[in-house]
Structure 1
Amino acid sequence: MTARAFVVGHPIRHSRSPMIHGHWLAEHGLDGSYERIDVAPEAFEAFIRGLPASGFAGGNVTIPHKEAAFRLADSLTPRAKKIGAVNTLIVEGGRVRGDNTDAPGFIAHLDHSLGERWPERTGGSALVLGAGGAARAIVVGLVERGLSVRVANRSPERARALVELDPEHVEALAWEAVPDALSDTGLLVNTTSLGMAGHPPLELNLTPLPDRAAVADIVYVPLETPLLAAARARGLAAVDGLGMLLHQAVPGFAAWFGLRPEVTPALRQQIVADLVAK
């Protein structure tokens, strides 16, 4: 029987998830399909309630439905509970289970880009810029990997909210204190929209960062943000945002189609070519 999966959002035309999952389906010769579904917020609850009878094995959830999916799923993985948002749905036994794969996706991308011993090389300390949903997932992933994390945001109360994830390993930092904090930062992560196409760049002098430091940006349009360009100019390891998108897709595909795919150079090249074409 053909396994069917989807990505749901509003709007949804921009999603590259069908290209990612379509690549894997073709690569492995699987009998399956993956489609975009545009669902307005007011219709999302009915969409979720109808999933068990829909014939779908599950799907991905994107903007603006991640928090609603968290509230509406019949059950949640421990990670999804902690993050407070769902980006992956699995339909089994007439119930809908919600998961969040952004955290392991980000960590898998760091492992792939920097090698699995990157926490040791970077000194086990991270500074995360921004305190939105993506930052929340990334902080959870970093703490799970054993890092101490500082979070800086222009709205201090939002940064303090992330401290509640793990007060022993997460602390809030004033945005104005970021330059002084760089000297003992092993991993700098930008989760803000600064540097994204159509947005102003993140103005930050990276000179104080240690030579062992790595810089990651979750923005992938453009692939080389001004922040990453500055990191490379300083001779630092730089990690772009595309890999997180690719790696977060792996657990869902495995759950729906019964095979765990790999993020290969061929897949990355296909998505990069599409980004450039747009």
Structure 2
Amino acid sequence: MKLAVIGYPIHHSKSPFMHNSWLKECGLKGSYEALEVPPDQLGEQIEDLRKRNFSGYNVTIPHKENIIQYLDEVEDRATELGAVNTVVIRDGKSYGYNTDGDGFLKSLLTKRTTKEVSDSQILIIGAGGAAKGIAGSLHSFGAEKISIANRTVIKADQLIESHGLTGDSMDLAAAQHQIGLFDIVINTTSQGMYPHIHQHALDATEMKAGSLAADIIYNPLKTQFLKKAEAAGADILNGVGMFVFQGALAFEKWTDKIPDTASMINKITKDMKQE
């Protein structure tokens, strides 16, 4: 079994560490590798993976939306979201799925109850592939008061409209001004990801005490966004849980095996602290 993750850049992904560990734990023969794929080579690489008899692969920044045009079939949910993060190759055909949203939701529920999530005023920073998956899962789960902040407001408008959300669309400056109004603020951008650890999409200094700041980034474990939120008295949630849970959902699609997520969250956290 040959598996991979494609993205650009991809050097510091922990996906190979995670999936190779799970393959070994489940007694499966195979390997999982990280493949750096520039945007202009995406179509060519997808065809190459199919020809080389890969069983599947994960898709990360910046390919989650553009990959759809190259796949044979895409599940309804991923089509609605307009983003794919997991591909299964069967009988020479490529099938696209989105496990991001459900992976994030599983992680979020370690910090908030079902009722707290559905009652919360939520702000999602970003309107790309990950934001689409997360907004879709939150809305399906019962959360409706979801606002979207994005550099390009028209993309935020489109995300609000496509999901029938009752929140507002806004640019980053407006979101910065209003950040203290939200119960949950989720960064879905790559701002703050290694090696650009001093960046942040929004300054969380003005978040209200007791609110929750969540970041889908796991490298570093505590981004500038999370550090400032914590200093303001907010609860924080890093991207390790989402990373592991979405990966487990993908692994199950490829192998029909359910991997040990609790152990992996501990392993990834420990491994990141050692770097």
TM-score, normalised on structure 2? Answer: 0.84
Structure 1 residue 231 displacement after superposition: 3.2
Question: Which residue is 1:177 aligned to?
Answer: 174
Q: CA deviation at 1:232?
A: 3.1
CA distance in 1, matches of 2:176, 2:63: 35
Question: Residues 102-136 of structure 1: CA distance to partner in whole angstroms, max 9, x if unpaired?
Answer: 1111111112343545415xx23211122233222
The residue aligned with 1:203 is 203
Residue of 130, 135, 160 corresponding to 2:131: 135
Deviation, structure 1 residue 88: 0.7
* 1:153 corresponds to 2:118: no
Bigger mean CA offset, 176-185 vs 90-99 = 176-185
Kindly, what percent of the aligned residue pairs are identical? 34
User: CA contact under 8 A between 1:51 and 1:91: conserved in structure 2?
Assistant: no
Deviations 1:178-200 (A, max 9, x none): 35644542211122344445243
The answer as to 2:102 corresponding to 1:104 is yes
Report the Cα distance in structure 2 between the residues aligned to 1:56 and 1:29, rounded to whole angstroms.
18
Residues 216/30 of structure 1: CA separation in 2 closer, same or farther (3 Å cut): same
CA distance in 2, matches of 1:196, 1:47: 25
Q: Distance in 2 between matches of 1:64 and 1:195?
A: 16
**Higher mean C-alpha deviation, range 185-194 or range 74-83:** 185-194
Instruction: Note if contact 2:149-2:175 (Cα within 8 Å) is conserved in structure 1.
Output: yes
> What do residues 181-228 of structure 1 show as CA deviations (whole Å, max 9, x unaligned)?
445422111223444452434324335x363x2221222232122332
Letter in 2 for 1:136: K
| Within-5 A mapping of 1:233-252 | 233-252=231-250
CA distance in 1, matches of 2:3, 2:115: 34
CA–CA distance in 2 between the matches of 1:161 and 1:136?
A: 10
- Asked if structure 1 preserves the Cα contact closer than 8 Å seen for 2:204 and 2:228, the reply is no
Distance 1:19 1:70 in 2: 26
Structure 2 SS opposite 1:140: helix
Tell which deviates more after alignment, 147-156 or 192-201. 192-201
Counterpart residue number, 1:218: 216
The 1:31/1:191 distance shift into structure 2, 3 A limit, reads same
> Where in structure 1 do 4 or more consecutive aligned residues deviate above 6 Å?
none
Please, what is the CA RMSD of the aligned residues?
2.7
Partner of residue 85, structure 1 = 83
2:187 & 2:38 partners in 1: Cα distance? 29
Measure, in 1, the Cα distance between the counterparts of 2:90 and 2:245: 23
Alignment partner for residue 57 of structure 1, among 52, 55, 58?
A: 55
SS in 2 for 1:8: strand
- DSSP 3-state at the match of 1:89: strand
The 3 A distance-change label for structure 1 pair 37 and 224 is: closer
Q: 1:188 to 1:99 in 2, by over 3 A?
A: same
Q: How far off is 1:76 after superposition?
A: 0.4
Q: Deviations over 1:88-110 (max 9, x none)?
A: 11112332101121111111111
The AA in structure 2 aligned to 1:249 is G
Query: SS of the residue aligned with 2:54?
Result: coil
Q: Which amino acid aligns with 1:137?
A: G
Alignment pair present for 1:14 and 2:20: no
Q: Normalization by structure 1: what TM-score? A: 0.84
Matches within 5 A, 1:256-271: 256-264=254-262, 266-271=263-268
226-235 vs 101-110, greater mean Cα deviation = 226-235
Judge conservation of contact 1:105–1:247 (CA < 8 Å) in 2: yes
- Distance, in Å, in 1 between the alignment partners of 2:36 and 2:173 is 40
User: Comparing 46-55 with 127-136, which one deviates more in the overlay?
Assistant: 46-55
